[in-house]
Amino acid sequence: MNLATVAFYGLAAGLLAAGLRELLTGFEENRCSMTYMFEYPEYRRVALPRRVARLYPAYGLYLYGEGLYAQETRELKLTGAPVLFLPGNAGSYKQARSLGSVALRKAENMEGGLHFNVFTVDFNEELVALYGGSLLRQTHFLHESIKAILKLYKHLKTPPQSVVLVGHSMGGVVARALFTLPRFNTNLVSLIITQASPHLAPVLALDPYLLDFYSAVKQKWVNQANRLRNVTVLSVGGGYRDYQVRSGLTSLPCPPGDPNKLSLVATAVPRTWVSTDHLSIVWCKELVLATVRAFFDLLDPETRQFTENPEKKLAVLNHHFIRHPVRMLGDAPDTPISILGPPPDVPEAWSEVNTLRLAYSTPKEGQIKYFLFALSSRRKAYSHFYCRSNNLEMSSWVFGCVHRNGSSCVRAVDLSMGTELLPPYKVLVLTLSDLSAVSHLVVSASNLNNKQFTVECEWQRQESQTLSVPVPHVLSVGLTVSDVTVNSSGLLHTIQLQDFHKVYQAFRINVASLCKAHKDRLANVYRMKVPWFREDSLITVSVPSVAEISGMLHTSRPDNSSGVVLQLHTAPNCQYKVSVRTSLPRVLGQILRFCGPMVPVYTAVTLLLACGGQLSSILVSRRAADMSQVVGKGLQPHRVNLPVYVLHMLLLSCGWFKDVWLLLGLPRMDGVPPTFPDSTFHEGVTPLEEWPRLLCPLLYIFGAVVAFWGSTFLRLVTRLMSLVLAPLHRPSVSRDGGTLRPRTQLLLILSLTLVGGTSCGALSIFAAFLLHLYRVLRLQMTERSLSHMLNLAPRRHKEACSGSVDAEANECNGTPLLSECALQEARDDLQLHLSLSALFTLHLMLSAPSLIHWIRNLRYSTQLYPDPCWPHFVPLIVVYLLLINCNNLNLSRSKLLPLTSCLPLPLAVVMVSFSPLHLYRITYFLLAALVPMAVCCLL
């Protein structure tokens, strides 16, 4: 093994490991609070019609309950509002316990008997993210479950007409797929909340059924967007802790003017502000509380059911998930004019502020206090008024005075609805140009409940408190730093991060506050605000401190809108130093997060070119090369990526070439899923981005690293397995160990075809793989036996190792001695079959999800339907069994070998062009390369 090759692949493996470490562990600690059950949870199975139970024996519908409520609902006489939870990929129906338990506890404190009935669906924990054959079946069962739930309420005077769906992961995709069913009544579902659901595209497309399902759902919601506008959908992504489903995929494809489709990340949800992993998003207390609060606000007190008013649903979801004004929902007065509570004849209750800033802490004793800020003298010099308070009571606190009586205000306009909630305090920013009818601003600092809090307000000039800093280039790898110093004379500063709008950019943003500690200072809040998607993230720090912010994006900027800004809610009279530095590990992590599905494609390309290298070596020298050598030479970006890039540019720039392409019925070139939100709505076509193609050489290196070290691991495993099996076999010196007779081959082909057709095609592929693995192990044992023999005759002629007869072979008592050629032939065959075994391993891994699904559902059905391996598993097992008898001698004598050795390169180019979004196509291209090779063994 070449030392330089090992060093290169070792360095590349280090880069890949750094990216994987950042992807899997390079995020904040889990700050979610756990939800707990106060009583033992019970899941009562809901009886379904016999027809439904017969069609879907593996599925079930349950009602969640605990304690007294579980006993009261034992007869399924329900009076609450129905909520149905849908688990995701390999998810359990028992995951509904967090939502159900919190809803039960909150219902105990509600007046009027308002409560929910939380149902949950058992999808048998199917791997629907990897095997798409069950998605349509789950959708039909969901439809039947909704009809069965609504029948339970027929005894009520005002029974519910719809069910609210909460879908986790792929459960959210199934919820939206309901509307693709031809007989589905769209009035049965008017609100869907999805958690970490990949709506834009599947994470991995390992079979065509998954992509067909996504295509049908996307086409329905895009083509009938106007008809489905009354269906409110809220999609919540988990943030960077969720490395299974990146938050950009949770964006809902919808028209820009549809307000009823909301997409956001959990870090931007008020009173949540945490990132969740793929499982904790179900039980994260902060997010569950936001969901339950929204549900109770959506209930109609008269009917005790969910409201059907789209405006009411949108207002509630905006209140709890987008912008919380620190007010009770519906507190806004009917008229814009309100009369202030304190009597105007109490002079000590009113204070006019003539300074530029107010900092006031309430005393321990309760009092009435209002501050007046005159607008007349500030309109020209200042553009905004900023105020914050850590009094988080749900009440009005900032007003615009329209009528004064002496030093007090009599009539005022409530301006508090623009308040925004941050973790330590509430903030209100008013634009002075919008307050032409107001003479003074009034800030309430009353603490009638004897609670102490702090109020800080100031006049601001936006231009002087906004700075710009260009971010370092992504290739600077941390060697250059962009920094800026903020001499804080105000409470809010905005730093525009120029040229920061792509997902592959990743920075370490450090903010150091330099000032004296003060016990009455409010905490600082640093917020990274993304204008084009609700993926804001923020941290709260004390003063003085040094804080680090992860400068990464979930989505790219779709147009030339404003860029990312860093908002600093600062302390006065402090100095802040902000530095921005590119982080190489985070850049690699972002590349793997968004382009990870291309790595297995390049792994297959490397192994395919390695197999082609073996064929070329046999053609030239009649010997197979060492596996590590040919795999190491499988990294050929100049021969693979360059033709792909030229083909991509021809399709973009040459109209005639594109017309010919479409005329031939060729598919569109693949790429990674789009990284900007709402991208699939326009004309229903997913556009391709340029930057992933520029990163293809790096992704090729990562794929080659997996192939190189994976093949090394495969050699080690086969060597260890041969040592284990050696005591079970007699020592052999024949290169034909593990081969099959023609009659046995035919019998196995027929048997495996029958087994695959009547049960699972992946099972036949697995059996054929084991037969070939046995052939590799026998060759390994033969090579070890020959290498330990002491009576091997030396080679006299080079031709003796290439298949010709050596007339002068050594003899002992008339018996020919084994020569070194026998050892060399066994080694050549071993290297050839190790290369084939690596390709076969790819086939096995791609078909593994359907095999696992079949095994887990074996008690319900012995046949997998639909089977993604049908019908291509038939030629695949034929090729497997024919190649078992393949050896170096047969290939070197074949007249088709020159042509067969030329096929891997064009197939590799085609694989890179058409497989990143359709990973199952890898099997087809590998099969196209193996079929001629199997023919070479026969002819």
Residue type (1 letter), 494: T
pLDDT at 683: 47
Share of the chain above pLDDT 70, in %: 94
pLDDT at 811: 57
For 371, the 3-state DSSP assignment is strand
Look at 193 and 820; give whichever has higher pLDDT.
Answer: 193
Residue type (1 letter), 646: V
Closest to 238 (Cα-Cα) out of 77, 30, 495, 521: 30
Contact call for residues 424 and 453 (beta carbons, < 8 A): no
Distance of CA 108 to the CA centre of its chain: 37
Give the residue carrying structure tokens 């002491």.
790
Helices and strands, counts by H and E, the chain: 25, 30
HSE at residue 601, side-chain half, CA atoms within 13 A, is: 32
| Rounded distance between C-alpha atoms, residue 635 and residue 707, angstroms | 10
The residues, ordered by sequence, that sit 6+ positions from 434 with a Cβ below 8 Å of its Cβ are none
- The widest CA-to-CA distance across the chain, in whole angstroms, is 130
Contact call for residues 614 and 887 (beta carbons, < 8 A): no
| Positions marked catalytic | 169
Examine the pLDDT at 115 and tell me if it is beyond 50. Answer: yes
3-class SS letters over 32-85: CCECCCCCCEEEEECCCCHHHHHHCCCCEEEEEEEHHHHHHCCCCCCCCEEEEE
Kind and range of the H or E element at 201? none
Confidence of residue 730 (pLDDT cuts 50, 70, 90): confident
Examine the pLDDT at 573 and tell me if it is beyond 90. Answer: no
Provide the angle, in degrees to the nearest 10, between the axes of the packed helices 820-856 and 598-621: 150
| Rounded distance between C-alpha atoms, residue 601 and residue 598, angstroms | 5
HSE at residue 627, side-chain half, CA atoms within 13 A, is: 24
| Rounded distance between C-alpha atoms, residue 115 and residue 121, angstroms | 20
pLDDT at 468: 92
pLDDT at 804: 45
Q: What is the mean pLDDT of residues 339-350?
A: 62
**Is the preceding omega at residue 677 within 30 degrees of 0, hence cis?**
no
How many other CB atoms are there within 10 angstroms of residue 351's CB atom? 16
pLDDT tens-digit readout, 760-819: 999 999 999 999 999 999 999 998 888 887 555 565 544 446 544 443 445 555 555 667
| Rounded distance between C-alpha atoms, residue 199 and residue 606, angstroms | 32
| Rounded distance between C-alpha atoms, residue 197 and residue 245, angstroms | 7
Tell me 522's DSSP state: P
Q: What is the mean pLDDT of residues 730-759?
A: 91
Q: What is the mean pLDDT of residues 113-121?
A: 93
| Rounded distance between C-alpha atoms, residue 296 and residue 278, angstroms | 26
Pairing relationship of beta strands 60-66 and 41-45 according to DSSP bridges: antiparallel
Q: Which tokens hold the place of 814?
A: 């008339």
Buried b (16+ CB within 10 A) or exposed e, 279-296: bbbbbbbbbbbbbbbbbb
The torsion angles phi and psi of 934, rounded to 5 degrees, stand at -65, -35
How many other CB atoms are there within 10 angstroms of residue 438's CB atom? 18
The torsion angles phi and psi of 118, rounded to 5 degrees, stand at -95, 115
Mean pLDDT, the chain, integer: 89
Q: 313-322, 585-594, 672-681, 721-730: lowest mean pLDDT where?
A: 672-681
3-class SS letters over 405-453: ECCEEEEEEECHHHCEECCCCEEEEEEHHHCCCCCEEEEECCCCCCCCC
| Rounded distance between C-alpha atoms, residue 414 and residue 399, angstroms | 5
Examine the pLDDT at 412 and tell me if it is beyond 60. Answer: yes
Sign of CA dihedral 52, 57, 58, 60: positive
Q: What is the mean pLDDT of residues 871-891?
A: 93
Distances (CA, A) of 466 to 384, 533, 581: 13, 21, 20
End-to-end CA distance of the chain: 33
Distances (CA, A) of 834 to 391, 531, 620, 773: 70, 53, 20, 9
Provide the angle, in degrees to the nearest 10, between the axes of the packed helices 655-663 and 637-653: 100
pLDDT at 192: 97
Instruction: Give bridge partners of residue 469 from the DSSP assignment.
Output: 497
pLDDT tens-digit readout, 484-506: 999 877 899 999 999 999 999 99
Q: What is the mean pLDDT of residues 60-78?
A: 93
Examine the pLDDT at 419 and tell me if it is beyond 70. Answer: yes
Tell me 502's DSSP state: -
